[in-house]
Amino acid sequence: MEMTPMRSGTRRNFERETDGPIVGEFARLLGTPLLPWQQYVADVAGEIDPTTGSYYYDDITLTTPRQSGKSELLKAETTRNSLHGKKRKIFYLAQTGKDSDKYFKDYVETLASSKLAALAKRPKLSNGGMEQAFTNGSIISPVAVTKKAGHGVQGDLICIDEAFALSNDLAKIIIDGFLPTVATRFKRTGVQPQVWVTSTEGTSESEFFNERLDKLRRGEGSTHSAFFDWGIPFDSDPEDLENIYKHHPAAGYLWDFNQLQAFRDGFEDNVGGWARAFGNLRDKGRAERIFSPDLWATTTTITPIDNTTLTGQPLAFGAAVDIEASATTICAAVAIDDHVTVQRIDMLPGTGAAFSRLHELQERYHAPLLIDSHGSGAALYDRLSHATDTYNVPLFNLLDVTNSDVLSSSQAFLSGLEEGRISHVADDELDLSAANAARQWVGDSWRTSRHLPTGHSSPIEAAILATWAVTHLPADSWG
**pLDDT at residue 288, rounded to an integer:** 59
DSSP 68-87: S-HHHHHHHHHHHHHTSSTT
Contact 28, 21 (CB under 8 A): no
The CA distances from residue 420 to 26, 300, 416, 424, in Å, are 61, 11, 6, 11
CB atoms inside a 10 Å sphere around CB 331: 31
Q: How far apart are CA 163 and CA 198, in angstroms?
A: 6
**pLDDT at residue 447, rounded to an integer:** 81
Residue-level pLDDT, tens digit, the chain, 479 residues: 689 999 999 999 999 999 999 999 999 999 999 999 999 999 999 999 999 999 999 999 999 999 999 999 999 999 999 999 999 999 998 866 677 888 999 999 999 999 999 999 999 988 767 999 999 999 999 987 655 554 556 789 999 998 988 877 778 777 777 766 667 888 888 899 999 999 999 887 788 899 999 999 999 999 999 999 999 999 899 999 999 999 999 999 999 999 999 999 988 877 888 999 999 999 876 555 789 899 999 999 998 987 766 666 889 999 999 977 889 999 999 998 889 999 999 999 999 999 999 999 999 988 999 999 887 888 999 999 999 988 999 999 999 878 778 888 999 999 999 999 999 999 999 999 999 888 876 655 778 877 666 678 999 999 999 999 999 866 555 44
Among 8, 15, 13, 39, which residue's Cα sits nearest to residue 26? Answer: 39
Q: Which CATH number is 293-477's, of 3.40.50.1110, 2.40.160.150, 3.20.20.70, 3.30.420.240?
A: 3.30.420.240
Contact 83, 30 (CB under 8 A): no
Domain 8-279 matching CATH 3.40.50.300: the answer reads yes
Per-domain residue ranges of the chain? 8-279, 293-477
